[in-house]
Structure 1
Amino acid sequence: MLIFFTRFSLSSSSYVSWRGFSLTATAHASPLLDGIPQIGASSSFDLLPEINSTFYNQSLVCSSTKHGNDQEACCSIVRELARLGRVHETLRLFCRWNSLGQKFTKFTLCSVLSSCAKALDWHLGLQVHARIVQLGFQDNIFLNSALVDLYAKCGAIVDARKIFDGMRSKDQVAWTSILSGLSQNGDGREALVLFKDMLWSDVRPNCFTFATIISACTGLEKDLLLVLLLHAQVIKFGFERNSFVTSSLIDCYSKSGRITQAVSLFNATRERDVIILNSMITGYSDNLQGEEALRLFVEMLNDGLGATNYTLVSVLNACGSLAVLQQGRQMHSLVMKIGSDQNVFVACSLIDMYAKCGNVYDARHIFDETVDRNNILWTSMITGYAQSGRGDDALDLFERLLMEKGVKPDHMCFTAVLTACNHAGFLDRGIEYFNKMRDYGLVPELDQYACMVDLYGRNGLLRKAKELMTEMPFEPNAVIWSSFLSSCRVYGDVQLGREAANQLLKMDPSDAASYVALGNIYAEAGMWGEASKVRKMMIHKGVRKTVGWSWVEGDKRVHVFRVGDTSHPQS
């Protein structure tokens, strides 16, 4: 049985520092509370950008003394704060008034649960849940939907599912919340099953439901049929012109490698807002079509649409993939102009862009100038050093991270430093860092094992690499087998190379790179007969080697070409 503690403080994850008005300004604003029950809270709270202790204390006096513990006044204040998005103020006032024995309506408790979900405060939400049960509101559909949303967003998907399954009737919020929770917890298949149940129920999915289930399926399978079926349902329910749904579909097509379908959908969309444009720019960038991403971004600016941080990240990634330093610097100027330079995700993209363009000095300058340095920022800088062949600098920065207060290395950080060890050939340091992961409560995952297999292989320890592949608690994926195959070719191990190539061809029989690598291993070992068999097998199965392309920046343009290409006027 849950017990509601009437006197408690918010957890550190929910607490923020409060910046108030001057004492005089708040003193003048506080009397507005007196009229809240009569004139509505909106007219009062819209005037208050922040709440400080004076306003907070006077609001308590308003509710407990002047109005004689007026339930309507208290509930109005809490609901209005929640509506204005003042999450922490909402929770703080609720906690204080609840400790004074104040009663709350169902709608007020819904607002509090919504604020708990936004703050990801599972502990407070659990206690609000207990109060709901205590008041006998446990069968209320709105409260149950809010509880499902809270638990799902906090990662307590088992609790969310238990409440959802126990609901006698379910609304759109409950369905969408549980689908979103399953998606966020990586259970897209279960979300699909549940969405099918929703279609058979009497609840009609809305645009947010479709955006959620499409996002849940993104990257789940590369089967085009699944995406097409969802697209058909979107059209059936009349949401094909909704920007949230359209952007989700574009994102789903793009991340499934179906950039042609994404472009077709984008071109068929008449009204293009920032959300849809962002999805298409990201799609181009993720599918190595950086020029198209830059072109669309310029069109977006010419149409008077402002760039969001999400847009900036995608365009900077495109500049990095093309290694176009001039355009990257122009983007940096735009970032500074609109004041997004302290956004950690934009800063990470700037670091990545400069590093890929070979300008590690500017990348480090961005890192040093960023105030809020989280794990993502540290990882970006370490990776930038690794990609630039500056392994010593990468390891020095990682050692500095280990001594930094308030920052704890995660899996991504260790992947970055192990990659740096790979590029620099630091075998002993790589083994040391791999073993050190458990000191920070981290169990090595597939990415870290892949780095170690590559590290052993690059140093000629093929048997050790193969032993690690056998012992690790995962099945080796294509990335691991590919790096192992490359090492086998470098060190001329025909037997292990043949095994690696066979494993890759089982995963993807049309993988030309595996055939070519195996053929080269045979040829370099003087086994011309075997090499000839591999080439004949490629011809028989219709497998062709992918043509390699390169590009060069000149005269403010990017020129793309391939071997023997004579299409350029100056070739």
Structure 2
Amino acid sequence: MLFSVIRIRGCLKRRFSSVSCHLFDEIPQRSAHSLFDSFPERGPDSCESIVIGFAKRGNVAEALKFFRGMIGFGIQPTKYTLCSVLSSCSKALDRHLGSQIHARLIRIGYEENLFLSSALVDLYAKCEALTEARRVFDGMKEHDPVSWTSIIAGFAQNGRGKEALIFFKGMLKSEIKPNCFTFASIFSACKEIESAFELASLLHALVIKLGVELNSFVISSLIDCYMKCGEINRAILLFDAAVGRDVILYNAMIAGFSQNSQGEEAWKLFIEMREHGIGPTYFTFSSLLNACGSLAVLQQGKQIHSLITKMGSDQNIFVVSSLVDMYSKCGIVNEARLVFDHSIEKNNILWTSMITGYAQGGRGADGLDLFEQLVKAGMIPDHVCFTSVLTACVHAGFLDKGIAYFDMMENKYNLIPEPDQYACMIDLYGRKGHLRKAKELMEHMPFEPNAVMWSSFLGSCRIHGEIDLGKEAASRLFAVQWHNMVPYITLANLYAEVGMWNEVVEVRKMMRCKGLKKRTGCSWVEVNKRVHVFSVRDGSHPQSNEIYDALDNLILEMRETGYVPKPKYVLHDVDT
């Protein structure tokens, strides 16, 4: 190590910066301050070599630390140093330092430099400062593939797909050829746009037409888009045609199968992946655990947990959050809490996952207690965390506490409530029978009610037999989701419960005219490490006769103990 340091110092003294960068790999422990303090000469060129050396080798923290040190000594950074540091700020999501560098660029007259401006766009976009990213981008006299791709990716990753698509069209008009990273970003944006499948298909054709390399990033983004559109067969064809499948492609397919409730297919692909010697990543484990949670297959989830522990990934915060989510969805909330308690590092995501687990498991009070512990631990709750807290209030029926937490968002944490939090409050008011209050809240929101809010409101109207408000909610849903059969069924059941059979017939006619039919309901159950799938009136299972006999016996036992069915909460058959 001493020999390597001496060689680096010698190279820096003679300004052999390219040689000194290569020598970084010979130092086991790279300390920015010790190297800087031992410099024979502290000039811009030697500092540039060290900063770029750290950055290229992924040591972002040391690169930024070294940069701050050289600024403290009054050494003026070169353009290359500033570009490298901005790239490091992007990776570290250090918007504060990036903004300081931006001010320095303006002060020394570098703001029109193409590469530095592109790096600034990338920084602001990754830090979700889209207004700043747009301002820098619009102020550039010329654009390159990096600046176009950065602005497209920034809007796409922040759920603003339509704007990302507008930028992409602008890029095509400027005759700058999109690269593989551009297409990976725009495929991600497709998921936020209506007619996503048609758009993704057109972009797929454009990739082929322009001769853009179909690498793992492009293919995985396209697979993800097809999967989110429900075009599973398209995704499978794309995966099967891919040459040299790597972990990125396997992860995209496993995640897609998990999102589409095809846990068995996800598991098969995971086994195939391991047979080919491809090691799983944190994302692989998260997707598999999501599949297990969605299907409530506890034994498979436990197997994955064992593998995670064996591979030493049981302290990764991303994986731990997925484990908590899986155990909660499988109804084993106490096991989820054990995983949570054993985690050394706890961030907002993990706290929120555990609060959500309590809420969904019918233990809203425990979820709220955990939120208070989160606050005492010095964590700052975000919008997602408050959504979980309000969900806990909904499931526990805590109206007053829900109102208090909703007000707390803005009054204590300066968080302006977003649609998700308003949706929780509308649901909470509705479930407690305060339908007029729920309607009033929707009317005074700073945005239009969405389909989730109207669906929740319609469900509450059905529970409480509120015909007029229910009709209004249903008509709103028919206008924005005419293809969704659920509001039709809910409205028909609302009419049926109060004996309005003519109106039930009219709803059935509407469904028939629109070609809407009830989807067959399915459920999964895991017995002896095997998952069994059942559907309504299903007789395909080899033990169906025994199952129905057991069900009849259970119904008889329930009646003998005094159980009385409540027809009000039964969905009437409105098949067309």
- Per the normalisation by structure 2, the TM-score is 0.88
SS at match of 1:40: helix
The verdict on how the C-alpha distance between 1:319 and 1:28 changes in structure 2, with shifts beyond 3 A counting, is same
2:321 counterpart residue number: 348
SS at match of 1:560: strand
Q: Distance in 2 between matches of 1:322 and 1:283?
A: 14
Q: For the Cα contact (< 8 Å) 1:221–1:256, is it kept in 2?
A: no
Correspondent of 1:303 among 271, 276, 279: 276
Structure 1 letter corresponding to 2:230: G
Q: Distance in 2 between matches of 1:280 and 1:105?
A: 44
The verdict on how the C-alpha distance between 1:167 and 1:448 changes in structure 2, with shifts beyond 3 A counting, is closer
Stretch deviating more after TM superposition (523-532 or 108-117)? 108-117
Q: For the Cα contact (< 8 Å) 1:222–1:257, is it kept in 2?
A: no
Correspondent of 1:487 among 437, 460, 463: 460
Q: Distance in 2 between matches of 1:129 and 1:550?
A: 55
Structure 2 letter corresponding to 1:476: P
Q: Distance in 2 between matches of 1:459 and 1:353?
A: 30
Q: Tell whether 2:155 aligns with 1:182.
A: yes
1:252 counterpart residue number: 225
1:50 counterpart residue number: 29
The verdict on how the C-alpha distance between 1:240 and 1:518 changes in structure 2, with shifts beyond 3 A counting, is farther
Residue 247 of structure 1 and its aligned partner are, at CA, apart by 0.3
Q: For the Cα contact (< 8 Å) 2:168–2:186, is it kept in 1?
A: yes
| Structure-to-structure mapping, 1:70-81, within 5 angstroms | 70-81=43-54
Correspondent of 2:294 among 317, 321, 328: 321
Q: Distance in 1 between matches of 2:463 and 2:104?
A: 66
Deviations 1:212-246 (A, max 9, x none): 22222322334422111211111112236311000
1:431 counterpart residue number: 403
The verdict on how the C-alpha distance between 1:103 and 1:517 changes in structure 2, with shifts beyond 3 A counting, is closer
Structure 1 letter corresponding to 2:390: L
Q: Distance in 2 between matches of 1:460 and 1:127?
A: 53
1:412 counterpart residue number: 384
Residue 133 of structure 1 and its aligned partner are, at CA, apart by 4.6
Q: Distance in 1 between matches of 2:521 and 2:375?
A: 41
Structure 1 letter corresponding to 2:222: L
1:116 counterpart residue number: 89
Structure 1 letter corresponding to 2:386: F
Q: Distance in 1 between matches of 2:457 and 2:107?
A: 60
| Structure-to-structure mapping, 1:62-211, within 5 angstroms | 62=39, 66-67=40-41, 69-133=42-106, 135-211=108-184
1:512 counterpart residue number: 485
Q: Distance in 2 between matches of 1:271 and 1:35?
A: 44
Q: Report percent identity of matched pairs.
A: 57
1:382 counterpart residue number: 355
Q: For the Cα contact (< 8 Å) 2:190–2:196, is it kept in 1?
A: no
Q: Tell whether 2:448 aligns with 1:475.
A: yes
Residue 120 of structure 1 and its aligned partner are, at CA, apart by 2.5
Deviations 1:67-106 (A, max 9, x none): 4x44432222222112112222222222322333434433
Structure 2 letter corresponding to 1:550: S
Q: Distance in 1 between matches of 2:185 and 2:423?
A: 32
SS at match of 2:26: coil
1:59 counterpart residue number: 36
Q: For the Cα contact (< 8 Å) 2:162–2:192, is it kept in 1?
A: no
Deviations 1:261-305 (A, max 9, x none): 222322332432111111111111112222221221121122211
Stretch deviating more after TM superposition (181-190 or 209-218)? 181-190
Deviations 1:324-351 (A, max 9, x none): 1100000000111111111112111101
Q: For the Cα contact (< 8 Å) 2:227–2:260, is it kept in 1?
A: yes
Structure 2 letter corresponding to 1:41: S
Q: For the Cα contact (< 8 Å) 1:40–1:76, is it kept in 2?
A: no
Residue 354 of structure 1 and its aligned partner are, at CA, apart by 0.7
SS at match of 1:498: helix
Q: Tell whether 2:429 aligns with 1:450.
A: no
Q: Distance in 1 between matches of 2:466 and 2:132?
A: 53
Q: Distance in 1 between matches of 2:68 and 2:148?
A: 29
1:11 counterpart residue number: none
Q: For the Cα contact (< 8 Å) 2:5–2:27, is it kept in 1?
A: no
SS at match of 2:533: strand
1:15 counterpart residue number: none
How many residues were matched structurally?
A: 539
Q: Distance in 2 between matches of 1:498 and 1:163?
A: 49
Q: Distance in 2 between matches of 1:122 and 1:429?
A: 36
2:548 counterpart residue number: none
- Per the normalisation by structure 1, the TM-score is 0.89
The verdict on how the C-alpha distance between 1:58 and 1:367 changes in structure 2, with shifts beyond 3 A counting, is closer
Structure 1 letter corresponding to 2:362: G
1:5 counterpart residue number: none
Q: Distance in 2 between matches of 1:133 and 1:527?
A: 71
Q: Distance in 1 between matches of 2:130 and 2:365?
A: 43
The verdict on how the C-alpha distance between 1:398 and 1:112 changes in structure 2, with shifts beyond 3 A counting, is closer
Runs of 4+ in 1 over 6 A off after TM superposition: none
Q: For the Cα contact (< 8 Å) 2:160–2:192, is it kept in 1?
A: no
In structure 1, stretches of 5+ residues that fail to align are: 1-24
Q: For the Cα contact (< 8 Å) 1:117–1:150, is it kept in 2?
A: yes
Deviations 1:446-471 (A, max 9, x none): 11111111111111222222222222
Q: For the Cα contact (< 8 Å) 1:320–1:356, is it kept in 2?
A: yes
The verdict on how the C-alpha distance between 1:510 and 1:59 changes in structure 2, with shifts beyond 3 A counting, is closer
Q: For the Cα contact (< 8 Å) 1:239–1:245, is it kept in 2?
A: no
RMSD after superposition: 2.2
Q: Distance in 1 between matches of 2:462 and 2:136?
A: 56
Q: For the Cα contact (< 8 Å) 2:21–2:50, is it kept in 1?
A: no
In structure 2, stretches of 5+ residues that fail to align are: 545-576
